[in-house]
Amino acid sequence: MTTRTGRIDTVWLDYHGVNLTADAPAGSTVLTVEHVADFDEAGGDLLHVPTGEVYAYDTVDTTGADDTIILTDPLPTGVGFAEGDAIRIWPLVTDAYAHIQLEDDADNEPIVARIQHPLRGQVAEGSRQDLEREMAFVEFTGREWVVRDVVGRDDAVWFGELRTDHEGNKRIVINKRGESSPVEIRLYPYDGDDDAWSTLGVNTDVNTGNVGVFLYPSTRRADGGYAGLSATEDVAQLLHVQPDATPGVRTTIAASEDTFGMRSGYGRMTIDGQIPNVDGTNLRRITIEHLDSAGAAVPNATLWLRREHGVNNSPWIAAPERNSGILFGADRVYITGGDQALSSSSHGPLTCSSLTQSSSREDKTNVNELTFDPVAAVSDATAYTWNYRSEADDAAFVHVGPMAEDLPSQVLQHDGDGKPLVDLGSLVGVLWAAVQQLSGEVADLKSQLGQP
């Protein structure tokens, strides 16, 4: 289907329902109508528009010469429907339609197009003046025109004038006070005077590329004031100032070839560009910081994105100065730590009150008996004490357990480099099976000894 563009002239709602084609006197249970396409053959409720009364119906019938709706109960005494009366689905159901003048067919009459439900909140009912006409993207489905998107209105025109205040400062006033809405807006160009903004009631120490905007207080909006925008080669500042010239919150936006940062009040977000790592990979970093009492930035958290072959992958969330983080790998999440907290090979400890693992029979498939001797598997995997290479040699604690390479393949997974990882849940399962087997052997020995 080809998409075409046009301007909306009028929008209206069309209610689902029909008109009667014959009278229905009191006691009737059959309503003869134009068609029953909008009504449910399983029954429902309908609204009689002239009286505002709601009636239940059981079904619809299209087998006769005329379409009919079968009421659940006969029309009450003294109540009758007349030919031409409108009846509607209840609760009311509507479609929105628009007259649209196609831009490539301006010589012909506007088309009628149905507006998709997600777009109905963007277009109001009623007719439009020239400057109010939204642009619509429409398609013909073979049966009807449908509005697929609405992108805005025609270009608007703001009326204003150039003024000079008592200090000699030039300004453009848009929507002159008392004559239009919104109320007065002033734009102040920077004219090279470092003190110019002070005389305008806007205090700033940035002296290049400034533009000030003023909203005049009114009975409807008492919180008027100044907003300032200043720009240098790589820094922009946004500043709000109260009507009494009291400075408000300043937001600084800095950008260079490799860095974008935003700083407002007591917080700052910095996005750095490509940062080469020691192993030659590239990282991108988003840092969230707060400012201490002296105004120095203190890092709170960092999101790292490693770039390989121009693609963002393997993101980390790391806590600066804490040597810990969370790494999102392919199909798995790593807890990282140590001096190389941004490495998937540098695993760190995880402390929590409980760890749970899904284990319901309903979640499992390929359920089979063990194909190896669990007791032998435990016997063949010697337990050692050891430390991870990322931990200090004089670590305050040591780990106890076997080497992954000595364990059955059924309890192992592998990372992206092929290094074996131990599935602790499966390892517990092996120990469980070993205990069951040993328990059975103990029971046999007791039986042979005549012990209960």
* 341-389 per-position pLDDT tens digit: 445 556 677 888 888 888 899 999 999 999 999 999 999 999 999 888 7
DSSP 3-state assignment of 304? strand
* 96-145 per-position pLDDT tens digit: 999 999 988 888 899 999 999 888 888 889 998 876 788 899 999 988 99
Q: What count of other Cβ atoms lies within 10 Å of the Cβ of residue 376?
A: 12
Report how far residue 234's alpha carbon sits from residue 209's, in angstroms, rounded to the nearest whole number.
Answer: 12
User: Percent of the chain having pLDDT more than 90?
Assistant: 37
Closest CA to 204 of 230, 169, 233, 172: 230
- Which pLDDT score is estimated for 60? 95
- Which pLDDT score is estimated for 102? 92
- Which pLDDT score is estimated for 90? 94
Residue 204 has pLDDT above 60, yes or no: no
User: Percent of the chain having pLDDT more than 70?
Assistant: 59
Residue 298 has pLDDT above 70, yes or no: yes
Name the pLDDT band for 50 (thresholds 50, 70, 90).
very high
Name the pLDDT band for 154 (thresholds 50, 70, 90).
very low
What architecture does CATH give domain 17-92?
Beta Barrel (2.40)
- Which pLDDT score is estimated for 171? 58
* 225-237 per-position pLDDT tens digit: 555 555 555 566 5
Residue 209 has pLDDT above 50, yes or no: no
Closest CA to 236 of 210, 214, 217: 210
Higher per-residue confidence, 149 vs 321 = 149
Per-residue pLDDT, averaged over 29-45, amounts to 94
Residue 223's DSSP bridge partners are none
CB 338 within 8 A of CB 325: no
- Which pLDDT score is estimated for 61? 94
Q: Which of 175-179, 232-236, 390-394 has the lowest mean pLDDT?
A: 175-179
Higher per-residue confidence, 111 vs 196 = 111
CATH numeric code, 4-12+95-152? 2.40.50
Higher per-residue confidence, 194 vs 58 = 58
- Which pLDDT score is estimated for 326? 79
Higher per-residue confidence, 235 vs 32 = 32
Q: Which of 280-284, 297-301, 397-401, 420-424 has the lowest mean pLDDT?
A: 280-284
- Which pLDDT score is estimated for 218? 42
Report how far residue 345's alpha carbon sits from residue 338's, in angstroms, rounded to the nearest whole number.
Answer: 10
Distance of CA 151 to the CA centre of its chain: 20
Q: Which of 248-252, 287-291, 432-436 has the lowest mean pLDDT?
A: 248-252
Residue 153 has pLDDT above 90, yes or no: no
Residue 190 has pLDDT above 60, yes or no: no
Report how far residue 143's alpha carbon sits from residue 213's, in angstroms, rounded to the nearest whole number.
Answer: 51
Higher per-residue confidence, 256 vs 426 = 426
Distance of CA 125 to the CA centre of its chain: 29
Residue ranges per structural domain of the chain: 4-12+95-152, 17-92, 158-254, 256-351, 361-436
- Which pLDDT score is estimated for 229? 59
Closest CA to 12 of 161, 113, 126, 183: 126
The region that residue 168 occupies, defined by phi over 0 for left and psi between -120 and 50 for alpha, beta otherwise, is left
Name the pLDDT band for 445 (thresholds 50, 70, 90).
very high
Token readout for 68 is: 């009919």
Report how far residue 56's alpha carbon sits from residue 44's, in angstroms, rounded to the nearest whole number.
Answer: 6
Residue 287 has pLDDT above 50, yes or no: yes
The chain-wide mean pLDDT, for the chain, equals 75
Contacts of 368 (CB under 8 A, 6+ apart): none
Q: What count of other Cβ atoms lies within 10 Å of the Cβ of residue 15?
A: 15
Higher per-residue confidence, 186 vs 98 = 98
Higher per-residue confidence, 394 vs 423 = 423
Token readout for 150 is: 């609405």
- Which pLDDT score is estimated for 384? 95
- Which pLDDT score is estimated for 383? 94
- Which pLDDT score is estimated for 251? 61
